[in-house]
Structure 1
Amino acid sequence: METLASKPLLKNALICAALGCVGDSVAQRRESMVRARAKKDASAKVKKTAKGREVAADDDSHDFTRTLKQAMYNFFFYGPAQHYWYIQLARWFPGRAFAMSAESLAPFGAKVFLNQAVLGPVVVATFFLWGAVWSGDVSGYPAKVRRDALPTLRAGWSFWIPASSVNFALVPTRHQVLYMSACSIVWNVILSLNLNKA
């Protein structure tokens, strides 16, 4: 039986799916805290528990279906897309980690630019489509893209440009998907918040 290490595509898809779960869970927790703070600020009704602590009358629970949706997207699309994308970028623009020279500047810049100009929009568009299909509201997809795609990309760029710069300058090619997948916890929070906002 082959080990997971000998199946890099499967390994990258599984890692990406697991980190998608983490990212969505963080996003849901953040949303829950924002709602709780808003209710508290608006003097929402609270009830006393048997121990005398105050809790919100309508406490939020984790939406496991939403987390599954994120994990499945990451497993079936985002993880494999990253796997092949970084292999292709390395072929088009060969370079080595820590190769800080004038010759390495152009390939480095091209990789950072293409990562944001190509991969970012593809991921946002397909993730919003995934959410529309999952919810059964494909007719709302064009309006969702018009309203939320650019703000989502802008939020992503503020994080991904520095993260991908580190990736392409310092991380060996064989570890780039792992590094970017670890960074994608933040990206998954951004995607989840933007997909699920009203």
Structure 2
Amino acid sequence: MILTATTILRKTPLFLPRSSILSPPRNFTSISPNPLQSFNSIFSNRQLGFPGLTKKQMGQGYSRVSAISGGGSGGSSGGNDGGVFGGSSDDGAGGEGDGGNQSKWGLFAWYMDLLVKSPVLTKSVTSALLNLVGDLICQLAIDKVASPDYKRTFTFTFLGLVLVGPTLHYWYLYLSKLVTVPGASGVFLRLILDQFFFAPIFIGTFLSTLITLEGRPSQVVPKLRQEWFSSVIANWKLWIPFQLLNFGFVPQQFQVLASNFVAVIWNVILSFKAHTAVVTK
């Protein structure tokens, strides 16, 4: 993970994922000569299911993935072909009498239930914890400090709680309502809006707020001039490949959860960028 973050920190040219990153589901046996048609068919037909979870716990998780693209929530609660997160191909939730599955998915089911009952609070606390981990990794593994600056870590964690989590929740929710085009076209529209409109603004806001809370308001403008653009480029290089998969295969209510796993790497990068000394010209 740290090697990945360090590599992204270097000013390498922007790249986009190869087409092979969008692997078809296992029951997708034929490829249309038209790439866009094939891509659309994947998003139109794929379903997600989670063994050991009840419909109440999953909420809209049993909807077809095409619902992400504005196709409505009229999916079935049937099984899948293994799904993005694995699982069985059995119909329904896999049976509540299956003790092994219940135990295996218990923690995940509990977290999903929290997302349904208190989505903003759950995502905010999760973002705070991931910000904390990201900043500590940055200090100990990249900055190689003898002892972490806990005041810095607290501020970085606090922003995850009050800024990152709530903002991403409402942004993804708004984005799913804003773009109602189904299939691959909707996925790419979301990606464009997310990465080329929202991300640059949010990165600037985060850096400015962090530096101000750390008691360095006079450095906001110099810091943005020095680090904002390279941060946006690093963001594109990490998040564009991931978000293609996130918007394409993950139901809307799980998108922030999925993003959080990649966010650990991103938080290391962002912490590094935010605390790089401003070079006076």
Match of 1:109 in 2: 188
Aligned alpha-carbon RMSD (Å): 1.8
Shift of 1:141: 0.7
Provide, for residues 114-155 of structure 1, a one-character-per-residue CA deviation record: whole Å limited to 9, x for no partner.
111122112211121122212222122111101110011111
Question: Which of 139, 163, 168 pairs up with 2:218?
Answer: 139
What is the alpha-carbon distance in structure 1 between the residues aligned to residue 133 and residue 114 of structure 2?
24
Unaligned runs of 5+ in 1: 34-58, 96-102
Relative to structure 1, is the Cα distance of residues 3 and 112 closer, same or farther in structure 2, using a 3 angstrom cutoff? closer
1:1-12 aligned at under 5 Å gives the runs: 5-12=116-123
Match of 1:89 in 2: 175
Amino acid at match of 2:122: K
Unaligned runs of 5+ in 2: 1-112
Question: Which of 26, 29, 38 pairs up with 2:137?
Answer: 26
Provide, for residues 23-47 of structure 1, a one-character-per-residue CA deviation record: whole Å limited to 9, x for no partner.
11111122244xxxxxxxxxxxxxx
Q: What TM-score do the two structures reach when normalised by structure 1?
A: 0.78
Shift of 1:5: 4.4
SS at match of 1:60: coil
What is the alpha-carbon distance in structure 2 between the residues aligned to residue 168 and residue 5 of structure 1?
19
- Structure with a larger share of its residues in helix: 1
Report whether the alignment pairs 1:122 with 2:212: no
Amino acid at match of 1:10: L
What is the alpha-carbon distance in structure 2 between the residues aligned to residue 190 and residue 115 of structure 1?
19
1:27–1:193: 8 Å Cα contact kept in structure 2? yes
1:20–1:185: 8 Å Cα contact kept in structure 2? yes
Q: Which runs of 4+ in 1 moved over 4 A?
A: 2-5
What is the alpha-carbon distance in structure 1 between the residues aligned to residue 243 and residue 160 of structure 2?
18
1:69–1:134: 8 Å Cα contact kept in structure 2? yes
Amino acid at match of 1:90: S
Provide, for residues 53-87 of structure 1, a one-character-per-residue CA deviation record: whole Å limited to 9, x for no partner.
xxxxxx61111111111111111111001000111
Report whether the alignment pairs 1:13 with 2:92: no
Q: What TM-score do the two structures reach when normalised by structure 2?
A: 0.56
- Which has the bigger relative contact order, CA under 8 A and spacing at least 6? 1
Match of 2:227 in 1: 148
Aligned length: 165
1:179-198 aligned at under 5 Å gives the runs: 179-198=258-277
Question: Which of 245, 248, 257 pairs up with 1:169?
Answer: 248
Match of 1:72 in 2: 158
1:5–1:11: 8 Å Cα contact kept in structure 2? no
Amino acid at match of 2:174: Q
1:13–1:76: 8 Å Cα contact kept in structure 2? yes
What is the alpha-carbon distance in structure 1 between the residues aligned to residue 234 and residue 114 of structure 2?
37
